[in-house]
Structure 1
Amino acid sequence: MTPVVIGLIGIGCLFVLLILRTPVAFAMLAVGFFGYWGIEGWRSAGGVLLTETYSAVGNYNLIIVPMFVLLGNIAGVAGFSRGLYDAAFAWVGRLKGGLASASVIGCAIFAAVSGSSVATAVTLGRVALPEMKRLGYAQSLSTGSIAAGGTLGFLIPPSTGFVLYAILTEESIGRLFMAGILPGILMTLLFMGAIWIFCTLNPEAGPPGEKLPRSERKRIYGDAFPLIAIIVISIGGIYTGIFTPVEASGIGAALVILVAIARRRLSFADFREAVLETLSTSAMLYTIVIGANVLNPFFAVTRIPAALGEGLGALGFGAYGTLLVIILAYIVLGMFMDGLSMLVITIPIVYPVILSLGFDPIWFGVVAVIVIEMGMITPPVGLNVFVVRGVAGDDVPLTTVFRGVFPFLLAMILGLLLIIVFPGIATFLPNTMFG
C-alpha cells in the first residue's frame, strides 16, 4: 500500500474510534503511533512517541492554558460573573431584549477571562437564565442567546482554540489573540442586532427591563471594574509588548486571585475547587496536544496534506472556491465533532493547503475558529446547546434551544462573510501590533 492509502485508512480508523466514543486524545495517539509504525517501523514510531510527547508537555507557551483557565475559574467561584452581567444589564437592559443582549455582552467579557466556550455558557447561564425566566422571556431567546454568546469564548482572547492553533501551526499566539478581538466585537454586535430584530418582530419574547437609577448604575459599574481592568491589563499588555502572552496569563491569574481575596470572595474551599477544575481541564488539553503531536508526523509521512492540496487544485475552483469547500467541510464535521477535536485533527491537514493558496495563516485561524464556533450550536452535537439545556433544566426541550440559536447562526454566517470580504477585520490589530 502507498503511504497515501495508509493515511486514508488511518483517518478512517480515527473517525471510527471517535464514533465509538474514544477520547479524542487517545484516538489520535493510537492512530498516529500505529500508523507511523506501519510505514516507518516500530523503532521510529517509538522515537516519535517519546520525542513528541516530551516536546508537547515541555512547550513553554502551553503555560498559557492553565493560567488563563485558573483565571476564569477563580472569577467564576468568586462571583465576578454576576458583576459582569449586572453591569451589562445596567448598560443595555432597558432596550428590547435587553436581558438577552446583556447576556451576550456578559459572555463576551467573561470570554476574555475564561477562554472557554463551555465555561462561559455555564457561568453566565446560571446567572442570566433565572433572570430572563422571571421577566417572561421566551425560552428560545433566553437559551439561544446564552448558547450563542458562549461560543465567543472560543474567539475572544485568551482563546484555547487560538493557543492550540498556534502550537499546531507554529504561528504567534500574541498575533492570534489580537486577531480575535475585532471579530469578537463584531460577533457580539451582530448577536445583539439579531436579538433586537427578533424582539422587534415579537415584542413579547424579550420585554425591556426597568431603567436603573444613576447611583445604582455607578455602584454596579464599580463592582465590575476590577475584573474588566484585569482583562485590559492582560490583553493590553500583550498588544503594547509590555509582556508576552505567557506573562500576561500569569499576571492575570495573580491579579484576579488578589482582587478576590481583597473583596473577601475567595474561601479556601473555593480556591481548592478552582485549582482542581483547572488541573482537570489543563490535563485534558495537554493530552490532546500530545495526541496531535504524535498524529502530525504520521500525516506528514503519508503526504495526505500534499495530496489534498493537489486534489483541491485539480478541481479548478480557485483560491476562494477551495476555501468555500474547506469551510463547508468544517461545517459538516462540526455537526458531529466537538470544536477542539475538529481543530487538532484538521489543521495539520488543511493548513498546508491554506498556505499554498496564499491566504494569511493568522486570518485563516480566525475563520477556522468562527466555523468551529458554529459547530458548537448546530445539531446534532451542538455542545453549547446541550450545556445550556442542562443549566436551564429539563423543562426546556432541546428543540427549543436549537430553534433559539438559529438567528444567531445567521448572524455568525454574516460575520464570517464580512471577515472573508474584509480580512482587515482580523489582521488589522496583529499588523499594527508588530508593525
Structure 2
Amino acid sequence: MFDDPLTTGLVGLAAMFVLILAQVPVGIAMGVIGVVGTGLIIGFGPALTLLATEPSAAIAAEGLAVIAMFLLMGNLAHVGGLSDELYRLAYVYLGHRRGGLIFATVGACAGFGAICGSSVATAATMARIALPQMLERGYAKSLAAGSIAAGGTLGMIVPPSVVMILYAILTENSIIALFLAAIVPGLMAVAFYFVAVAIVVKRNPGLAPLGERIDWPERRRAARKSWAVILLAVIVSGGIYSGIFTVSEAASVGASVALLLALVRKRLTRPKFLSALGETASNTGLIFVIIIGASVFSYFATLSGLPAATVAWIEGLGLEPLMVILLLMLFYLVLGALFDTIAAMVLTLPFVYPLVIGMGYDPIWWGVVMIVVIELGMITPPIGINVFVLHGMARDLPLRTIFRGVVPFVFADLARLIVLILFPALSLWLPGQLGWL
C-alpha cells in the first residue's frame, strides 16, 4: 500500500485527523504524521532530519517574531487598563441607544482586536469587562453573550491580526498588503453587526433596555482618559501604514509602548508582568508548535503529491471557479467550527492555496475571505471556539443560550461574506491605491 506516494498521503491525512479527534494537539499530530509519512516515502533517515531543520527554521524566522511581540503588546495593554478604557469610551457615546451596550461591546472588540490581534483573547477580555455590565443593566443573557462571542472574531480581521501575519508568512505575501485589504472588511463587520443588533432590538425591545444618556462634558472626559488607547493605536497602525516602521518594528515598538504605559500608570506589578510574559510565552509556543508541525506535514504532503492531485481532481469536475469558492466556504465553515483559526488555516493551505491561485484569484483577497469564513466557524455549532471560551468564563450561561445569541451575528457574517466574494474590489481597492498590489 505504501509503495504509492499518493496512497501514503491519503492514509497519512486520515491518520492525522484520527489523532486530532483523539485529542492529540494539532501541531504534534501534523508533525508525527509528517515524519512517519516522509519516512515511508523516502526513508526514515532523511525524515528524522526534519525534526532538526524545521524547528530551527521556525525559530530563526524573523517574521514569526512579530507574532510574539503583538501577543505581548495585547497582554501588556490589558494589564495597563486599556481594554477597560476602550469599553468606557464606546459606552459613553453609544450606551444611551437601545442596544447601546451591545454596540459599545462590538466597537470595543474591534478596537481591542486591533491591539491584541487575537480572537480568543478579545472574547475572553470583553467577557470580563462587558458581560457583567450588560447583565446588570437588564440585557438578555443570550444577546449579551452572543455579542461578545461574535465580537471576539473581530480580533482576526481587524489589523494587526496574528492569523493574517501567519498567512502572509506561510504564503510569502506582503503583511502590509493583507492588513490594508482587511480594513474595509473589518469596518463592514462592525457595520453589519450594528445593523443586525438594531433589527433584533427593534423587533424585541425587551432584550436591550435603554441606557442613560451621557452628557457631552462626560464624553469629552472619557475621550481624554482614553488617550493611551488612541496613542498605542496611532503609533502601531500609523507607523506601519506611513512606512515609518516595518511590521516587525511596529510590533516591537507597540509592545514597548504598552509596557511604558502600564509602568507610567503604576498598574504593572511584578505578578502581573510575569503573568503577561507567561501567557505570551505559552501562546507563542503553541503557535510555533503548530507552525513546525505544519511545515513537516506540508513537506510530506508535497512528496506524496496530494496537493497536486487535489487540484487536478477539483479541476476535473469542470465546476465554475465561483462554485469552487462556494464549496470551499462550506468546507471552511465546518472546519472553523471544529478547529481553532490557526489550525484550520495551516492544515488546508498546502491543498487550497494552489487551487485558488490556479483559478486566477488574488492571494490577498483569498487571505481575507478565508479568515472571514473561518472566524464565522468560530461561533457556529457544534464546537464554536469563542462560544466555549465564553462558556468557560461564565459557567452560569448555558451553551444553548450563547449559541442562540450569536444567530443574528452569524447572519450578518454570512451577508458580509457573500458581498466580499461577489465584490473582490472591496478588499483590493485600498492596497491597490497605496501601491501594495
TM-score (norm 1): 0.97
Q: Is 1:404 matched up with 2:384?
A: no
Once the two structures are TM-superposed, the CA of residue 314 in structure 1 deviates from its matched residue by: 1.4
Supply the distance in 2 between the matched residues of 1:428 and 1:71 (Cα, whole angstroms).
29
* Residue 141 (structure 1) aligns with: 143
Alpha-carbon displacement from aligned partner over 1:395-426 (angstroms, at most 9, x marks no partner): x2110100110110000011111111111221
- State the Cα deviation string for residues 46-71 of structure 1 (Å, max 9, x = none): 23332222111111001111111111
SS of 1:180 mapped into structure 2: helix
AA partner of residue 83 (structure 2): S
Tell me how far 1:177 sits from its aligned partner. Answer: 1.8
Name the SS of the counterpart of 2:307 in structure 1.
Answer: helix
The 5-angstrom pairing of residues 33-112 of structure 1 reads 33-112=35-114
Tell me the residue number matched to 2:421: 420
Q: Quote the offset at 1:434 in angstroms.
A: 2.8
Q: Deviations over 1:343-389 (max 9, x none)?
A: 11011110000110000001100111011101110111111001112
User: After the TM superposition, which parts of structure 1 deviate over 4 Å for at least 4 consecutive aligned residues?
Assistant: none
Distance 2:421 2:123 in 1: 27
Counterpart of 1:238 (choices 237, 240, 247) is: 240
Which residues in structure 2 correspond to 1:194-213 (within 5 Å)? 194-213=196-215
Aligned match for 1:350, one of 352, 355, 358: 352
Worse overlay, 315-324 or 96-105 = 315-324
**Who is 1:279 aligned against?**
281
Letter paired with 1:99: L
The counterpart of 2:24, out of the listed 6, 9, 22, is 22
Which blocks of at least 5 consecutive residues in structure 1 are unaligned?
none
Q: Deviations over 1:4-55 (max 9, x none)?
A: 1111111101100000000111001001111111111112212333222211
What is the DSSP-based 3-state SS (H/G/I as helix, E as strand, rest coil) of the residue aligned with 1:367?
Answer: helix
Distance 2:334 2:395 in 1: 28
Equivalent residues of 1:190, 1:415 under 8 A apart? yes
Equivalent residue of 1:434, what SS?
coil
Paired position in structure 2 for 1:389:
391
- The answer to whether the Cα contact below 8 Å between 1:237 and 1:248 also exists between their aligned partners in 2 is yes
Aligned twin of 1:431? 432
Q: Which amino acid letter does the alignment assign opposite residue 421 of structure 2?
A: I
Q: Which of 142-151 and 329-338 deviates more? A: 329-338
CA distance in 1, matches of 2:337, 2:240: 34
The separation in 1 between residues aligned to 2:394 and 2:211, in whole angstroms, is: 21
2:353 counterpart of 1:324: no
In 2, Cα distance between the equivalents of 1:349 and 1:233? Answer: 37
* Partner of residue 216, structure 2: 214
Once residues 161 and 269 of structure 1 are traced to their aligned partners in structure 2, the CA distance between those partners, rounded to angstroms, is 29
Q: Is the 8 A contact 1:69 1:278 kept in 2?
A: yes
Tell me if the contact between 2:337 and 2:382 (Cα under 8 Å) persists in the aligned partners. yes
Equivalent-residue separation in structure 2 for 1:243 and 1:306 (angstroms): 38
Unaligned runs of 5+ in 2: none
Alignment of 1:257 with 2:254, yes or no, is: no
Asked if the contact 1:143–1:392 (Cα under 8 Å) also holds between the matched residues in 2, the reply is: no
- For residues 215-268 of structure 1, give each alpha carbon's deviation from its aligned partner in whole angstroms, at most 9, with x where no partner exists: 211111112222122112212221121111100100111111111211222222
Residue 428 (structure 1) shift: 2.1
Cα separation, 1, equivalents of 2:210 and 2:70: 34
Instruction: Quote the residue 1:6 is aligned against.
Output: 8
State the 1:291 CA deviation: 0.8
Alpha-carbon contact 2:80-2:261 (below 8 Å) kept: no
SS at match of 2:226: helix
SS in 2 for 1:210: coil
Moved more, 265-274 or 360-369: 265-274
Q: CA RMSD in A?
A: 1.2
Contact 2:228 2:261 (8 Å CA) reproduced: yes
Greater shift in the superposed pair: 330-339 or 142-151: 330-339
Q: Report the alpha carbon displacement of residue 336 of structure 1 after superposing the two structures with TM.
A: 2.0
CA deviations over 1:122-148 (Å, ceiling 9, x no partner): 111111111111111011100000000
The match for 1:190 is 192
1:64 alignment partner, SS class: helix
**Structure 2 match to 1:131:** 133
Aligned to 1:116: 118
The worse-fitting range, judged by mean Cα deviation, of 47-56 and 342-351 is 47-56
Aligned partner letter, 1:248: A
Aligned to 2:179: 177
The whole-number CA distance in structure 2 between the counterparts of 1:209 and 1:225 is: 25
Alignment of 1:350-389 (within 5 A): 350-389=352-391
